[in-house]
Structure 1
């Protein structure tokens, strides 16, 4: 009986063939075309002197422009904080299990997400004072009057912008927060209830800390969007960044330069919001 010949040394020590992947040239070709198109546009803009650098630099740190940028940043930040509170209340109402609270919160979210934000701002500034011309606040069953003033003196452009942006953004924040709540495993809720933990303590100690990991990134994106949406307040006369920029170029006709200045400061605000979002995400890391 003959045995099989032993394997040759060359075959035993043979190395597997190296797989050479083909280089994807398509994305590089597309990127080169995009860069070429940008270079052509930049060259044409420089040659045509579309933007005068001296005018741009003159107004970049102008006192009026900086005041507008600060107003936009403060309005967007305050509106986000109020929207977070409104959204938290609406989200808790949605998940409460009470049909009346759920219906109320669902109606609020539907109305304020379904109508344009600009219409809401105009409503609060123009229509609301017509519907309620006088603001009268008094303590019931007494003669003490806390406030009695025309609604037009109370609903200023800043107040109308803050109310409109907060309520509109609150509808989006409500769904973001509710999504974070629903992402927490039901088993943890059941375990907390099994040891007799009250519902409020369950939300504070179990649900909200874990939901924050999902809520923070989405809320950061909404903050960036809200900072840019403050430009809508220019339609009701609030002196934010875009309104001041348009007022300046309406007087000196340097439209391109002033819009470039406004765009620059919006980018700065976006960078600030992005850095803040990154810092908050480190406080609630995904595990």
Structure 2
């Protein structure tokens, strides 16, 4: 039985087999990347520049594990402090007060515009030079209430924490400012019309929505901070890169020890990625 009329082409098309589209470009690029990585790995094995025995020996070395823990502690504390600094700076920038807004803009410009390494070295070396002693005194007391050399207070850990927190706070300020500005002004007006104060509007309307928006960016900044803790090795803080540097300075297994450090940094960033993914699922942007 033949079918004529407008329905005939439709039936003929429905009888044709469905063939999946082959995307050869992606397979070709993937093959090139795999071949490139395999060539690098094979080159390292053939030249004996990578000794898997040495890597396995030092992968869970107590000093390296302690260095990885120090990097995790430093990066996590710096994220918490920089989040507070960033929130304060963002609110200053959006306050409408020209003095507060100007101070926030200058802070962001200075700390985003200078390398983080310079800031760490500045806090560790320049501050004790400018202020040799820290003195706390009261007018009615004959002597100082507290006095100590600045080098006792500004330890490598404190200098690294201050440098990372202040530098990262400038980035967090812009992230939080963008998140706050992403909330429609109509919601603020509606909340104000209901009798809410400006603090209540920010706490109950703006902050919950802005927090969902900035979660992915904050996760990326946390990953960057965990890797940036390696800069603290320049001022003597015993984080992971400093530890492996001390080890390969004595056994000259530079590539193997740097590979161990890279593995641990990958593990730390994987942990941060898992946390970020969980938060994004728990608090989606919309």
Under TM normalisation by the shorter chain, which class is it? over 0.9
Which residue of structure 2 lines up, in the alignment, with residue 156 of structure 1? Answer: 155
Which residue of structure 1 lines up, in the alignment, with residue 234 of structure 2? Answer: 235
| Runs of 4+ more than 6 Å apart | 18-21
Q: What are the within-5 Å matches in structure 2 for residues 137-286 of structure 1?
A: 137-139=136-138, 141-142=140-141, 145-286=144-285
What SS class does the counterpart of residue 272 from structure 2 fall into?
A: helix
Q: Following the alignment from structure 1 to structure 2, what is the Cα–Cα distance between the partners of residues 25 and 283?
A: 37
Instruction: Describe the shift of the 1:144–1:204 C-alpha distance in structure 2 as closer, same or farther (beyond 3 A).
Output: farther
- Tell me, yes or no, if structure 1 residue 61 matches structure 2 residue 66: no
Instruction: Describe the shift of the 1:141–1:83 C-alpha distance in structure 2 as closer, same or farther (beyond 3 A).
Output: farther
Q: Following the alignment from structure 1 to structure 2, what is the Cα–Cα distance between the partners of residues 204 and 141?
A: 43
1:162-183 CA-to-partner distances (Å, cap 9, x unmatched) read: 0000000000000000000000
Q: Following the alignment from structure 1 to structure 2, what is the Cα–Cα distance between the partners of residues 286 and 249?
A: 46
What SS class does the counterpart of residue 11 from structure 1 fall into?
A: coil
Q: Following the alignment from structure 2 to structure 1, what is the Cα–Cα distance between the partners of residues 95 and 139?
A: 31
CA RMSD of aligned residues (A): 1.8
CA shift at 1:10, angstroms?
2.9
In structure 1, the gaps of 5 or more residues are 1-7
CA shift at 1:21, angstroms?
7.5
TM-score by length of structure 1 reads 0.92
In structure 2, the gaps of 5 or more residues are none
Q: What are the within-5 Å matches in structure 2 for residues 101-112 of structure 1?
A: 101-112=100-111
What SS class does the counterpart of residue 135 from structure 1 fall into?
A: strand
CA shift at 1:194, angstroms?
1.5
- Tell me, yes or no, if structure 1 residue 11 matches structure 2 residue 10: no
Aligned length: 280
TM-score by length of structure 2 reads 0.93
Q: Following the alignment from structure 2 to structure 1, what is the Cα–Cα distance between the partners of residues 91 and 3?
A: 73
Q: What are the within-5 Å matches in structure 2 for residues 63-142 of structure 1?
A: 63-139=62-138, 141-142=140-141
Q: Following the alignment from structure 1 to structure 2, what is the Cα–Cα distance between the partners of residues 214 and 254?
A: 45
CA shift at 1:146, angstroms?
4.5
Instruction: Describe the shift of the 1:283–1:145 C-alpha distance in structure 2 as closer, same or farther (beyond 3 A).
Output: farther
Q: Following the alignment from structure 2 to structure 1, what is the Cα–Cα distance between the partners of residues 199 and 266?
A: 40
Q: Following the alignment from structure 1 to structure 2, what is the Cα–Cα distance between the partners of residues 236 and 24?
A: 51
Instruction: Describe the shift of the 1:88–1:257 C-alpha distance in structure 2 as closer, same or farther (beyond 3 A).
Output: same
Q: Following the alignment from structure 1 to structure 2, what is the Cα–Cα distance between the partners of residues 146 and 170?
A: 32
Range 119-128 or range 32-41, more displaced: 32-41
Q: Following the alignment from structure 1 to structure 2, what is the Cα–Cα distance between the partners of residues 234 and 91?
A: 31
What SS class does the counterpart of residue 135 from structure 2 fall into?
A: strand
Q: Following the alignment from structure 2 to structure 1, what is the Cα–Cα distance between the partners of residues 140 and 104?
A: 32
Q: Following the alignment from structure 2 to structure 1, what is the Cα–Cα distance between the partners of residues 234 and 28?
A: 44
Query: Does the CA-based 8 Å contact 2:209-2:285 persist in structure 1?
Result: no
Instruction: Describe the shift of the 1:139–1:191 C-alpha distance in structure 2 as closer, same or farther (beyond 3 A).
Output: farther
Q: Following the alignment from structure 2 to structure 1, what is the Cα–Cα distance between the partners of residues 77 and 143?
A: 31
CA shift at 1:140, angstroms?
5.3
Q: Following the alignment from structure 2 to structure 1, what is the Cα–Cα distance between the partners of residues 101 and 19?
A: 59
CA shift at 1:242, angstroms?
0.2
Which residue of structure 2 lines up, in the alignment, with residue 4 of structure 1? Answer: none
